[in-house]
Amino acid sequence: MSDTEVVHGAAAGSTRRKRHRKKHRTGVLVEMELRVRNRPSPLSETNGSGQESHAREDLRSLLLSILRTLTRLPWLATDAGGVFLAHPEDQRLELVAHINFSPYIQGACNQVAYGHCLCGRVAESGQLLHAGCVDHRHETRYEGMGDHGHYVVPIRDETGLLGVYTLYVASGHTFRQEEADVLEDFAATMATVIRMHRMRQEKALADLIIENSQHGVVITDHNNRILWCNPTFETVTGYTLEEVKGKPPSILASGRHGPDFYRRMWHDIQTRGQWQGEIWNRRKNGEIYPEFLNIMALYDEEGTIVRYAGLFVDLTEIHQAQEHVRRLAYFDRLTELPNLTRFVELLETKLNEAQGHPRAVMMLDLDHFHEINNALGRRMGDTMLIEVARRLQERLPDCLLARAEADRFLISGGPFAMNPSRSEEAIDRLISRVQEALQHDISLMGHQVSLRSTLGLYMSQEGDSPEICIERASLALTEAKRTRRGEALVFDETLRRRAEHASYITLNIAHAVERRQLYLVYQPQIDQAGELVGAEALLRWQTPEYGSISPDVFIPHAERRGEISRIGHWAFEQAVEQFSRWKTMHCWRNRSFKLSVNLSPAQLIGHDVTESFIEICNRLDVSPGSLVLEVTETAVMQAADVIRRRLKGLAAAGFRIAIDDFGTGHSSLSRLHEFPIDTFKIDRSFVARIESGGKHLAIVRTMIHMAHELGHSVVAEGVENDRQFAILRNLGCDHFQGYWFSRPIPADELANLAMQQD
């Protein structure tokens, strides 16, 4: 056997060798274990770099004690050696302990690359190495270095290489298997020391994280008695650790949940090991608050529950923000009247209750409001609108009221008799009551301002939807403003012809695809640096009779006719086909471009589109990950269980999911948490208000923060100026879309825009 290169793996020794190895290994282990057990817990030590330095010195001390034991072995002539820790992430060894290393060796061997010199070679091979003299592998040399030999032993466990240690032996030393066996046992002891050191470090880090977590943390024993809580728990609940220690967490119970709720909770914990969800608890001061709670059972090695850990987040601010969002979604901020969305819901209920009897739906427009607003200022204009709302509420307590937009209000009264003459009388009385409410002037900045108004009125017929009633009242108002400003006009046969436009849409939307009248345009989306990162595909309809018809007009008709799924499928396929053409043109070679496509709730509720969408993507060689499927927040809450399953299937296939018009729907955090959402799109109505600051800015800030906390990105829609862009960017909004950057444009223009940026 050569004395210059002997590489050996572990080998079984004789009974005599095993007793010999066990004697030395046991002594070292006893010393090491006693020293480790006598160390204080990391939680009792000073946090920070001082603790880390202490732990490292502790490791060095233990490894040195093992080295000293090795140098005292009577059958192994060695008086110098060193221990290196492995850093596999950058393929190097670090010298952490040594005996009798000269200053030069300490400097030269402080950091050793894998594969370099003897120690580096062992790190690379993972095998024990013996060298009887200095040869070509001993790459670290220095002047005056005498000839010598080495044992270099890997330190490893089941996870891999932890380090190596080296011992200096006399030149000409001969390899002996008995020595190698003992040295490998010492390596196993060092591995135990290093592993325990790392476990202590990891525990110290975990303790530090939990201690300073922004989440409340509480630990109980197996009988559900509190053992420990972190400072956040104390801050949120108002209780100190001393006050709750030994008590059950039920001291926080709010009384809002019945026994069945808690039975289901504990059933999940006992059978699945975990429960999570929203819960209402009570602070020490009696205040009831919402939190998102995650309870986990902790088991010992035999599978017995020994602890329970609860982690929670106080949802008070988020719930308050949601209530603000709901209020903004359903009520007018200025007048506190219901808005158009809420009015439609209320009117639908009233129409159903009327059982065929007509209801009056009236749209009121304040004459010359914009001139007054411009002359006296916005504050005075707001005062005028508030006063109009107050007077209408006072004079028409039995009517539905809403502020539709700007200076327009909606009023609905009835139901009225089926007899035409009696119905006309009732209509006249309603119009008179409205006019009487506004007959007196209002004083603004010392000016007496007349509250003149123009009215458009429609009498509902059996089968009319709220949208038809409002649309026809609006048509009547438009005609009244054109021909008899300051008066009321009832929708009649002349105006009915204008309603034929709506009928045209209803009848022809089903054939728009076959007639090739539908097409897509694309509105760019940019990131914080102003770079193009995506686009939203938007549907358009060009007709020979009426020209371009807005999607806001024809999509509701398509939904009512049951055509929206077919149109939506066509739009998806067209968008993917266009994306494929862009790929061929190499438009997005320097960026990860995402194309957003809108889905209607009917598409998701009707049938599972996942398979057909995947087939389209495969056929056109487009990755589902390049596509964002947008569904409105309101749609998500319709048939929520079905839509959740559909969206999860789409997400599992690789498609990204975005919630469109976020903030305008009627959802809760607990429900949205169940959906596979990647992106929230903040509705343009919130973006339009952020420049005014105050609550509007706070709401948007909360929405962005909430989305990021949930791990979602945020797109702001309807960005119209650089001020809005700057505010949103400072709030951490990820992407932006709006006319300030670009109107919706044809596909070739978007491609040119992308290639210009490249």
CATH number, domain at 402?
A: 3.30.70.270
Query: How high is the pLDDT of residue 212?
Result: 66
Phi/psi at 2 (5° precision): -70, 145
pLDDT for 193-235, tens place per residue? 888 888 777 676 566 656 666 788 899 999 999 998 888 899 9
Dihedral of the alpha carbons of 729, 733, 734, 736, in degrees to the nearest 10: -70
Q: How confident is the model at residue 636 (pLDDT cuts 50, 70, 90)?
A: confident
Average pLDDT, the chain: 86
Report how far residue 236's alpha carbon sits from residue 255's, in angstroms, rounded to the nearest whole number. 18
pLDDT for 17-35, tens place per residue? 444 444 444 444 444 444 4
CATH number, domain at 681?
A: 3.20.20.450
Q: 432 and 554 share a domain? A: no
Token pair 């999509």 in the structure block, residue: 555
Q: Would you say the C-alpha torsion 206, 211, 214, 216 has a positive or negative sign?
A: positive
pLDDT at 654 over 50: yes
Angle, vertex CA 344, rays to CA 499 and CA 439, nearest 5: 85
Q: Is residue 322 part of a domain?
A: no
Q: 116 and 165 share a domain? A: yes
Mean pLDDT, residues 408-426? 83
Query: How high is the pLDDT of residue 474?
Result: 92
CATH number, domain at 260?
A: 3.30.450.20
Residue 512 DSSP one-character state: T
Report how far residue 754's alpha carbon sits from residue 739's, in angstroms, rounded to the nearest whole number. 17
Query: How high is the pLDDT of residue 23?
Result: 47
Contacts of 201 (CB under 8 A, 6+ apart): 52, 55
Report how far residue 551's alpha carbon sits from residue 598's, in angstroms, rounded to the nearest whole number. 12
Q: Which residue in 529, 556, 552, 554 sits closest to 543, CA to CA?
A: 554
Q: Is residue 320 part of a domain?
A: no
Of 138-142, 165-169, 294-298, minimum mean pLDDT range: 138-142
Q: Which two tokens stand for residue 277?
A: 């969800």
pLDDT for 553-571, tens place per residue? 899 889 888 899 999 999 9
For the beta carbon of residue 641, count every other beta carbon within 10 angstroms. Answer: 8
Are 129 and 118 within 8 A, CB to CB? yes
Report how far residue 147's alpha carbon sits from residue 142's, in angstroms, rounded to the nearest whole number. 11
Secondary structure of residue 314 in the 3-state scheme: strand
Q: Is residue 1 part of a domain?
A: no
Q: 364 and 442 share a domain? A: yes
Query: What are the CB-based long-range contacts (under 8 Å, 24+) for 298-302?
Result: 299/273
pLDDT at 45 over 50: no
Q: Is residue 324 part of a domain?
A: no
Q: 449 and 543 share a domain? A: no
Q: Is residue 328 part of a domain?
A: no
Q: 160 and 233 share a domain? A: no
Q: Which residue in 182, 746, 215, 179 sits closest to 519, CA to CA?
A: 746
CATH number, domain at 37?
A: 3.30.450.40
Residue 47 DSSP one-character state: P
Q: Is residue 502 part of a domain?
A: no
Q: 46 and 174 share a domain? A: yes
Are 528 and 715 within 8 A, CB to CB? no
Are 627 and 534 within 8 A, CB to CB? no
Asked which of 189, 209, 229 is the last residue of a domain, the reply is: 209
Query: How high is the pLDDT of residue 24?
Result: 46
Are 699 and 321 within 8 A, CB to CB? yes
Are 431 and 488 within 8 A, CB to CB? yes
Query: How high is the pLDDT of residue 416?
Result: 85
pLDDT for 720-741, tens place per residue? 999 999 999 999 999 999 999 9
Q: Which residue in 565, 566, 512 sits closest to 540, CA to CA?
A: 512
Q: Which residue in 601, 689, 584, 673 sits closest to 639, CA to CA?
A: 601
Are 527 and 757 within 8 A, CB to CB? no
Q: 177 and 202 share a domain? A: yes
DSSP 382-439: HHHHHHHHHHHHHH-TTSEEEEEETTEEEEEE----SSHHHHHHHHHHHHHHHHHHT-
What is the pairing mode between strands 360-366 and 305-314? unpaired
Q: Which residue in 177, 157, 176, 166 sits closest to 137, CA to CA?
A: 166
Asked which of 314, 349, 369 is the last residue of a domain, the reply is: 314
Q: 345 and 420 share a domain? A: yes
pLDDT at 47 over 50: no
What's the domain count of the chain?
4
Q: Which two tokens stand for residue 294?
A: 């995650």
Q: 237 and 91 share a domain? A: no
Q: 272 and 176 share a domain? A: no
Adjacency order of strands within the sheet including 288-299: 226-229, 216-221, 305-314, 288-299, 274-282
Of 46-55, 121-130, 237-246, 602-611, minimum mean pLDDT range: 46-55
Phi/psi at 360 (5° precision): -90, 130
Q: Would you say the C-alpha torsion 243, 245, 246, 252 has a positive or negative sign?
A: positive
Q: Is residue 498 part of a domain?
A: no
Report how far residue 682's alpha carbon sits from residue 725's, in angstroms, rounded to the nearest whole number. 13
Report how far residue 337's alpha carbon sits from residue 227's, in angstroms, rounded to the nearest whole number. 52
Q: Is residue 684 part of a domain?
A: yes
Proportion of the chain in helix, strand, coil states, percent, rounded to 5? 45, 25, 30
DSSP 134-165: --TT-----TTPPP-EEEEEEEEETTEEEEEE
pLDDT for 303-359, tens place per residue? 899 999 898 988 888 888 777 777 778 899 899 999 999 999 999 999 999 888 899
Asked which of 491, 524, 552 is the last residue of a domain, the reply is: 491
Residue 253 DSSP one-character state: B
Q: 202 and 226 share a domain? A: no
Phi/psi at 226 (5° precision): -65, 130
Secondary structure of residue 568 in the 3-state scheme: helix
Query: How high is the pLDDT of residue 755?
Result: 85
Q: Which residue in 639, 752, 665, 663 sits closest to 715, CA to CA?
A: 663
Phi/psi at 681 (5° precision): -110, 110
Contacts of 742 (CB under 8 A, 6+ apart): 523, 524, 753
Q: 258 and 357 share a domain? A: no
pLDDT at 480 over 60: yes
| Residue range(s) defining the domain that contains residue 279 | 214-314
Report how far residue 182's alpha carbon sits from residue 196's, in angstroms, rounded to the nearest whole number. 21
Report how far residue 573's alpha carbon sits from residue 609's, in angstroms, rounded to the nearest whole number. 12
Report how far residue 571's alpha carbon sits from residue 513's, in angstroms, rounded to the nearest whole number. 10
Report how far residue 394's alpha carbon sits from residue 410's, in angstroms, rounded to the nearest whole number. 15
